[in-house]
Amino acid sequence: MGRILAIDYGQKRVGIAVTDELKIIANGLTTVPSAEIFDFLKTYLSKENVELFLVGEPKQMDNTPSESSKFVEPFVKKLAQTFPNIPIKRVDERFTSKMAFQSMIDMGLKKKDRQNKATIDKISATIMLQSYLEFGR
């Protein structure tokens, strides 16, 4: 039984979340510099069984691709080429950063801690993955 690994890809950082083996709960895993994502994934996949990549799809309010799409699409293409045996599912990532920021406020994090963009990226990936587990299957 494999895990689902969620990827919130950005130009500078990649937020990563993963499910438990039973695919019940999403957990924030880490944030990795974008330039190091494939090295990270190779190492992670050598230790853990992943059966699905869940990649955020940046969209505008009118459902058209956002400006970030031009960076995400080449990443998804390389991901598919690098790991051809692991399917990729795209999910709408609109509002995940805002939801992550609000979650940090709700958790009582101090303003300085909320300014850490790496934390926002990891929480965004977690929200995306948990939403998929609850509603998206």
In whole angstroms, give the CA distance from residue 114 to residue 57: 24
pLDDT at 31: 92
Its pTM stands at: 0.80
Q: How many CB atoms lie within 10 A of CB 53?
A: 19
Task: State the pLDDT at residue 3.
Answer: 96
For residue 76, give Cα distances in angstroms to 20, 32, 71, 106.
23, 16, 9, 32
In terms of Cα–Cα distance, which of 33, 25, 35 is closest to 4? 25
Query: Residue ranges per domain, the chain?
Result: 3-136
Q: Is-contact 37 18, C-beta < 8 A? A: no
Output phi, psi for 58, to 5 deg: -75, 125
- pLDDT digit string (tens) for the chain, length 137 residues: 799 999 999 889 999 999 999 999 999 999 999 999 999 999 999 999 999 999 988 765 566 665 666 788 999 999 999 999 999 999 876 555 555 555 555 566 566 654 556 677 777 888 889 888 888 65
Cα distances (angstroms) measured from residue 8 to each of 103, 111, 112: 17, 23, 22
Residue 96: per-residue pLDDT: 59
Which of 3.30.420.140, 3.10.300.10, 3.40.50.800, 3.90.650.10 would CATH assign to domain 3-136? 3.30.420.140
Q: What is the pLDDT of residue 70?
A: 73
Is residue 95 left, alpha or beta, with left meaning phi > 0 and alpha meaning psi from -120 to 50? left
Q: What is the pLDDT of residue 122?
A: 79
